[in-house]
Amino acid sequence: MDETLLTDSKQITAENTAAIKAAVEQGVYFVPNTGRNFLTVQDNLQQLGLYQKKDAYVISFNGGAVVENYQNRILLVNEMPFAQVEALFKLGVQAQYCVHVYTLDKLYIWNMQQDEIDYLAGRINGWIDLDKPDISQLRGQRLVKILFSVPTRAERKKVEQVVHEQFSFPLNVTFSSDRYIEFNPVTADKGKASLALGTRLGIKPAEIIAIGDNSNDLAMIQQAGLGVSVQNGRQFVKDVADYIAKRDNNHSAVAEVIEKFVLKHTS
């Protein structure tokens, strides 16, 4: 979604919308695959004609959940144990980062900053501010992801190293939006979730196209039959992609991919 399908102004271009609708008309599944909660993309689904649609899907929380759009029916969840989330939360609090904790239907944020509010505006609304550095009230809830907002890539890499050194439990650690380090259970990534949904729908990995821009997209780009980086993708994403779009997220890169690899072959 962000930095791939959405422009920097958080919109889906008319060209992207038209291409996606044309592909869906021809029987293609278009599945937003996002690190965000599936509830935050409902307006986008409306624009694409996929809102509350049966046999249409969203992959959310970096593969933490697979959801059918109709009645937001949860098909698959990769939960994180509370003890792991709490340990990571305490690390983020100690470093004074802005920390996001995701349950299946809510987002809790500690140490919200103005630049974070500015970034989330138009993407995520309705989060719950934690008034103290404590998540004991979330014990027993279905936790799916935790992330820190960390200002530089060098610092994010340092945090990744500290986490691997300090904690023995396995994690899927990724980066997104040039501001976040994200933590999922090791069973959850966008690639595994894409293949699991494909299996459910009778679609082979070779028949899946994945389009992304950052580290949390790597698994799906590597595991799909055709992995694509948008032009604004990070270099390490371009290095593993089968195709690098000529356009960036502000110039309908998703439409370029659909027109090149989908519509011309199914028309």
Identify the CA nearest to 92 among candidates 166, 36, 143: 166
What distance, in Å, lies between the first and last C-alpha atoms of the chain? 26
Residue 267: predicted pLDDT: 44
Residue 125: predicted pLDDT: 83
Could you list the pLDDT tens digit for every one of the 267 residues in the chain?
999 999 999 999 999 999 999 999 999 999 999 999 999 999 999 999 999 999 999 999 999 999 999 999 999 999 999 999 999 999 999 999 999 999 999 999 999 999 999 999 989 888 999 999 999 999 999 999 999 999 999 999 999 999 999 999 999 999 999 999 999 999 999 999 999 999 999 999 999 999 999 999 999 999 999 999 999 999 999 999 999 999 999 999 999 999 999 996 544
Give the architecture (CATH level 2) of 14-77+189-266. Answer: 3-Layer(aba) Sandwich (3.40)
Identify the CA nearest to 185 among candidates 105, 100, 80: 80
Per CATH, which fold does 82-185 belong to? 3.30.1240
Q: Are residues 255 and 18 in contact, defined by beta-carbon separation less than 8 angstroms?
A: yes
- Enumerate residues 6+ apart whose C-beta is below 8 A from 219: 63, 189, 190, 191, 192
pTM above 0.85, yes or no: yes
Residue 265: predicted pLDDT: 58
- Residue 174 has φ and ψ, to the nearest 5°, of -135, 170
Residue boundaries of the structural domains of the chain: 14-77+189-266, 82-185
